[in-house]
Amino acid sequence: MFTSLTAAIWIVAGLAAVLTLIFTYLLINRGVESYRRRRSDAFMVSAAADVYQFMRHGGKPARSLIPNERWKMETMEKIFHSYRYHIQHEQLMQRMSMFAEWYMLDFYSKEMRSRKWSRRMNALSRIIEFRVSGLMDQVEERLQSDGVRSEEERLLMVRALLMMKEERGLMYLKDQKAEWSEFDYRRLLLDVEASSIDQMLLVFDTYTLPLQYALVDAIGVRQLTEHQAFLESLLESGSQEIRVRSLKSLHLLPVVYDPSVYIGFAESPLWEERLMTAKLAGRLPMELSLPLLRTMMHDSSWWVRIEAARALSSVHEGRNILDELRTSEEDRYCADAAVEALERRSDHVLAGVR
Amino acid sequence: MSWPAFGEAVYWFFAVLIFVYMLIVIFFYTGLLGLSAFQLKKESRWNRTMEHDEDMNAHYTKPVTVLVPAYNEEKGVVDTVRSLLSLRYPQVEILVINDGSSDGTLETMIEHFSMKPVNRTVRRQLDTAPVHGIYQSNILPHLYLVDKENGGKADALNAGINISRYPYFCSIDGDSILESDALLKVMKPVIKSGDNIVASGGSVRIANGCDIQQGAVLSTSVSKRPIVIMQIIEYVRAFLISRVGLSRFNLLMIISGAFSVFQKKAVIEAGGYHTDTVGEDMELVVRLHRINKEEKKNQQISYVTEPVCWTEAPETMKGLQRQRSRWHRGMLESLWAHKRMTMNPKYGKVGTVAFPYFWIVEMFGPVIEFTGYLFLIVSFFMGEVYWQFGLALLLMMVLYGSLLSLGAVLLEVWSLNKYPRPRDMVALFFYSLTETFWYRPLTVLFRLFGIGQWIFKYRRWDPQERKGLSRPKVAD
């Protein structure tokens, strides 16, 4: 008993000693990090004028900006990120990209070969953010190797290719074996050129459902009116989800050309389709929309009623209809929706006056 | 067998039982600690600024209603709402539910945010105590106040669910402050994985001692009060060790009531929050697990490691006792309500792993630990063989209590580093070493008290005293 007790004491004492050592190391490490952070902050202040000069007028950047150490590289990333976040301007983007190609390419190339996953991910994110096209061959080479096991990393690589080497990116997208989620695809399509979307729509049927959904959404979000006919053709799809999403994207497009395509959905058995029709109806000529929305105010779905009321409240004649319906004795649900829409409308008007 | 021999046999039986229990639990927690370290190591240096900015795109995200149940929260409610106003999230509505407060919560809200009564169509999908009125802020159109009769926190949340517009809701305590990107972080798994995530929680830290102004955490630091420092360590341990590990296998049965997001549809289908328990958040999560398995839905409950919410911890012994007894009672109520899931293979790993874990380690842990402390004291008065055993037991307790907590503190310092000041790091380090000797026995007693309350059918919600989190304003 005594010997084993002594052993136990030693084990616990040893563990405590190891943890203390780790703690001391972390404490020193935090001190170093704090010094680095202060150095980086000071650089951000001192370099602000030179960075502005470069961003505003282009040309060769000041020598002090050229990053030759990791901390400076990371600080420049922070500065560029801040510019990119606050100012959306193509010329600024080009200058940033140029700077990254000149002075940060080797760093990212090395980081992409790092054994640490987080470093590779950081490098890929920054390559996308600053559009470092000079590394696309390396990205493709790595994508072809068996070394990439993380789907998150593959996703960033395909995204970089789609952005900067379109044809190759499309090829990898087609051959994609792993199950990426719709969210992944949405992110992938966020900054691809419209021409890539054109090409993707040509082979729409060959894609997985999440990618199809993301593509349909992208047309609406990016307001690609040239694909309106494509969306309208999808309204005949056998998939309920595709139909609802197509209606939603059509709603986001600036112009409605042919109302007859949508009006039939006002009687759909699916409330989601009726809801989207109510949204679209607000954009149709009044002689068509008012009777349709009036009928929809008596819909069995709460969502459809609320949406129809909202659409009606946006035009003067519609508000007259809502005024009429608010006293409706037969349909209290309809009356409630009318009252709420009218109140909301008057709030918005008041807010506008204020 | 003579009486002394019988007594000795009983002593050794319990001694071995406690020893084996401690050993198993230490191994289990060390495994979870390793798992957390592995996960945090992978992600800790990943700079996700680009991803976070992209997440702000409204077309990616799903709209969320934030529910703030408030009962006598006049001191903290304005700060909580302010912290919500600075949330970075594209589509959000805030619903404060005044649950029949007897203080000035309603008046404070109306006056502070210039609120006026509105007509709002309500789908009454869950039964609640009567709602007297709904108010909307004149200055912040997405801020609403619901005034209802008192029915408890669960009832207030159910009323909020009825009135909410959006497909996801997030419940937050009236005494909590959120990080500005809290919703983005917690909704990330939902946005990424779609409808099969029915609940998502985030890590919570203690706000006492932090510099908080206008509902925003300006800088974080550790309180000077030992009882608060120990709670910080306890939170770090609970969130960094247990939850990270359990969530990896979809075994999470508690996501913090202080801040978590739920899918409205799933919660309504499950019947909303139960009003007859003080642990309504845990009960709901367990029920969601049960329904998921019974109806074969493949739903998941997720958890993000990064701290997203700061909450006020009790600063007095009495406050801590009330809180811990209530929590323990709530846990027992939840486990008891769904006891048929225990060791039932129909419920998969939740039934066969999570339930036994919660019963044995979380639920009966205090009983065994209390017995351990008693043994410790008795052993030192009973002669050499016994004190040697007592010492061995003490070592186990130091391992289980102090060293594991120290491990969690180190993990926090290394990966998340929410308390960057060296002075705070040193305080956390040394206080974690003392856990076994004073704080742990105290919480063990408080949790035992909770078991007693459950046995004697004590069902009251003991309110926690609030000081308010903001720094007092300099005199005008």
B444: part of which helix (H) or strand (E)?
A: helix B439-455
Instruction: Give the pLDDT score at B284.
Output: 94
CB contact at 8 A, A204 and A213 = no
Question: Does an H or E element contain B227, and which?
Answer: helix B226-237
Q: How much is the pLDDT for B463?
A: 65
- A316-328 per-residue burial string, b: 16 or more CB within 10 A, e: under 16: eebbebbeebbee
| Tokens encoding A172 | 């990898």
In a domain, A205, yes or no: yes
What are the structural domains, with CATH classification, of chain B?
1-461 (3.90.550.10)
- In the predicted model, is pLDDT for residue B472 greater than 60? no
Which of B47, B114, B398 should one mutate to test binding to chain A, selecting the residue with the greatest count of A CBs within 10 A? Answer: B47
- Cα A292 versus chain centre, distance: 34
Check residue B436 and give its pLDDT: 92
Tell how strand B216-219 and strand B176-178 pair up.
Answer: unpaired
* Residues of chain B neighbouring A5 (CB-CB closer than 8 A): 388, 391-392
Alpha-carbon distance B389 to B375, whole Å? 9
Average pLDDT (B102-117) is: 93
pLDDT tens by residue, B115-124? 999 888 788 8
Task: Identify the pLDDT of residue B316.
Answer: 93
Per DSSP, B88 falls in state: -
- Contacts A116 to B, Cβ<8 Å: 45
How many other C-beta atoms can be found within 10 angstroms of the C-beta atom of residue A92?
17
| Share of chain B residues as helix, strand and coil, in percent rounded to the nearest 5 | 55, 15, 30
Residue A348 pLDDT greater than 60, yes or no: no
Dihedral sign from CA coordinates of A43, A44, A45, A46: positive
The band of A254, judged by pLDDT with boundaries at 50, 70 and 90, is confident
The mean of the pLDDT values for chain A is 87
Q: Tokens 């009623």 label which residue?
A: A305
Q: Which of A296-305, A336-345, B207-216, B463-472 has the lowest mean pLDDT?
A: B463-472
Decide if B403 and A8 are in contact by the 8 Å CB cutoff: no
* Shortest alpha-carbon distance between residue A141 and chain B (Å): 23
User: Quick one: average pLDDT of B82-89?
Assistant: 85
Count of beta carbons in the 10 Å neighbourhood of residue A203: 11
- Which pLDDT does position B137 carry in this prediction? 93
> Is the torsion defined by CA of A26, A32, A38, A40 positive or negative?
negative
Question: Is A216 a member of any domain?
Answer: yes
**Euclidean distance between CA atoms B304 and B189, whole angstroms:** 8
Residues in B touching A121 (Cβ below 8 Å): 46
A300–B contact, CB cutoff 8 A: no
* Spacing of C-alpha A156 from chain mean position: 13
B410 touches chain A (CB under 8 A): yes
Q: How far apart are CA B217 and CA B219, in angstroms?
A: 6
Summarised one tens digit per residue, pLDDT across range B120-164 is 878 889 999 999 999 999 889 899 999 999 998 899 999 999 999
**Which pLDDT does position B50 carry in this prediction?**
76
Whether chain A has a CB inside 8 Å of the CB on B141: the answer is: yes
- At B52 the three-state DSSP class reads helix
For B338-373, write each residue's pLDDT tens digit: 999 999 999 999 999 999 999 999 999 999 999 989
**B245: buried, middle or exposed (CB in 10 Å: 19+, 13-18, 0-12)?**
buried
Q: Which of B343, B311, B342, B340 is nearest to B327 (CA)?
A: B311
Buried b / exposed e over B343-356, threshold 16 CB at 10 Å, is: ebeebbebbbebbe
A308 contacts on B by Cβ (under 8 Å):
none
pLDDT in tens, A51-88: 999 999 888 999 999 998 999 999 999 999 999 888 87
Asked if the structure places residue A246 within a domain, the reply is: yes
Distance CA A16, CA A24 (A): 12
Number of domains in chain A: 1
Which residues share a beta bridge with B70? B98
pLDDT band per the 50, 70, 90 thresholds, residue A352: very low
Q: Give the one of B136, B194, B395 whose C-beta lies nearest to A8's C-beta.
A: B395
Alpha helices (runs of H) in chain A, residue ranges in sequence order = 2-57, 70-86, 90-103, 105-112, 117-129, 136-144, 151-164, 166-174, 182-189, 194-202, 209-221, 228-234, 240-252, 260-263, 271-281, 286-296, 302-313, 316-325, 332-353
* CB contacts < 8 A (A, B): 103
Identify the three-state secondary structure at position B300: strand
Whether pLDDT at B256 is above 80:
no
Cβ contact B388–A217 (<8 Å): no
- List C-alpha distances in Å: A28 to A14, B376, B428: 21, 38, 16
Which chain A residues have a beta carbon less than 8 Å from that of B194? 181-183
Q: Fill in the amino acid letter for A89.
A: H
For residues B16 and B389, give the distance between their C-alpha atoms in angstroms, rounded to a whole number.
10
What pLDDT is attached to residue A2?
Answer: 57
Tell me what the mean pLDDT of segment A219-234 comes to.
91
Q: Is residue A186 part of a domain?
A: yes
Report how far residue B431's alpha carbon sits from residue B229's, in angstroms, rounded to the nearest whole number.
7
In this structure, are residues A30 and B422 in contact, taking their beta carbons and an 8 Å threshold?
yes
Q: Do A30 and B417 touch (CB under 8 A)?
A: yes
Which chain B residues are within 8 Å of A126, Cβ to Cβ?
50
Q: Which pLDDT does position B4 carry in this prediction?
A: 77
Q: Does any domain span residue A85?
A: no
Per CB-CB distance under 8 Å, the chain B contacts of A184 are 192
Mean pLDDT of A199-216: 92
Q: How deeply is A3 buried, as exposed, middle or buried, from its count of CB atoms within 10 A (0-12, 13-18, 19+)?
A: exposed
Query: Residue A183: which domain range?
Result: 179-255
The torsion region of residue A285 among left (phi > 0), alpha (psi -120 to 50) and beta comes to beta
Kindly report, residue by residue over A116-137, the tens digit of the pLDDT.
888 999 999 999 999 999 999 9
Radius of gyration of chain A from its Cα atoms, rounded to whole angstroms: 29
User: What does R_g of chain B's alpha carbons equal in angstroms?
Assistant: 23
Q: Is residue A229 part of a domain?
A: yes
Which one of A3, A9, A21, A23 makes the best mutation probe of the B interface by having the most chain B beta carbons within 10 Å?
A: A23
A33-57 tens-digit pLDDT: 889 999 999 999 999 999 999 999 8
Touching check for B140 and chain A: CB below 8 Å? no
Give dist(CA A99, CA A50) in Å, integer: 13
More confident residue, A161 or B415: A161
Indicate which of A35, A118, A132, A346 best probes the interface with B, i.e. most B CBs within 10 Å of its own CB.
Answer: A118
Domain membership of residue A208 (yes or no) is yes
Contact (CB, 8 A) for A213 and A182: yes
Instruction: Of A301, A307, A316, give the one whose Cα is nearest residue A341.
Output: A307
Burial (0-12, 13-18, 19+ Cβ within 10 Å), B10 = exposed
In the DSSP assignment, the letter for residue B436 is: G
Instruction: Name every chain A residue with its beta carbon within 8 A of the beta carbon of B392.
Output: 4-5, 8
- Where residue B343 falls (left for φ over 0; alpha for ψ -120 to 50; beta otherwise) is left
Is B51 touching A (CB cutoff 8 A)?
A: yes
B461: pLDDT confidence band, cut at 50, 70 and 90? low
Q: Which residues of A touch B191 (CB under 8 A)?
A: 183
pLDDT > 60? residue A349: no
What is the model's pLDDT at position B475? Answer: 35
Compute the distance between CA of residue B40 and CA of residue B34 in angstroms, rounded to an integer: 10
Residue A245 confidence (pLDDT) above 70: yes
Residue B328, pLDDT score:
95
Output phi, psi for A155, to 5 deg.
Answer: -60, -45
The interface residues of chain A toward chain B in range 187-226, judged by CB-CB distance below 8 A, are 187, 190, 217, 221
Given this model, what pLDDT does residue B177 score?
A: 84
Q: Specify whether the CB–CB gap between B180 and B215 falls below 8 A.
A: no
Kindly report, residue by residue over B276-309, the tens digit of the pLDDT: 888 888 999 999 999 999 998 888 998 888 878 8
Residue B466 — very low, low, confident or very high, per pLDDT cuts 50/70/90? low
List C-alpha distances in Å: B244 to A63, B40, B46, B259. Answer: 46, 9, 18, 16
Of A4, A122, A343, the CB nearest to B46: A122
Indicate if the alpha-carbon torsion angle B302, B262, B327, B237 is positive or negative: positive
| Cβ B95 vs Cβ B67: under 8 Å | yes
More confident residue, B313 or A179: B313
Q: How far is A83 from chain B (nearest CA, A)?
A: 13
Chain mean pLDDT for chain B: 87
Paired tokens of B183: 């919703």
Contact B53/A85, CB-based, under 8 Å? yes
pLDDT of residue B465: 64
The Cα–Cα gap between B184 and B278 comes to: 29
DSSP states of A164-197: HSHHHHHHHHHT--S---HHHHHHHHTT--HHHH
Residue B200's pLDDT is 92
Residue A347's pLDDT is 58
CA–CA separation, B406 and A28 (whole Å): 17
B45: closest chain A residue by CA: A118
Question: Is the predicted pLDDT of residue A350 greater than 60, yes or no?
Answer: no
DSSP B352: I
Domain assignment of residue A92, yes or no: no
Of the given ranges (A16-25, A316-325, B284-293), which has the lowest mean pLDDT? A316-325
pLDDT band at A354 (very low <50, low <70, confident <90, very high): very low
Is residue B193 within 8 angstroms of chain A, CB to CB?
A: yes
Cα dihedral B286, B291, B294, B295 sign: negative
The pLDDT value given to residue B389: 81
Question: Sign (positive/negative) of CA torsion B389, B394, B399, B404?
Answer: positive
CA-CA distance, B89 to B272, in Å (whole number)? 25
Tell which wins on pLDDT, B143 or B253: B143
Q: What is the C-alpha to C-alpha distance for residues B461 and B277, in angstroms, rounded to an integer? A: 9
Best of B27, B49, B196 to disrupt the A interface (most A CBs within 10 Å) is B49
Residue B218 near residue B469 (C-beta atoms within 8 A): no
Q: How confident is the model at residue B433 (pLDDT cuts 50, 70, 90)?
A: very high
Supply the pLDDT for residue B473. Answer: 43
pLDDT given at position B58: 59
The predicted-structure confidence for B166-189, as pLDDT tens digits, reads as follows 999 998 876 778 888 888 889 988
**Nearest CB to A1 within list B388, B410, B425:** B388
**CB–CB of B228/B206 below 8 Å?**
yes
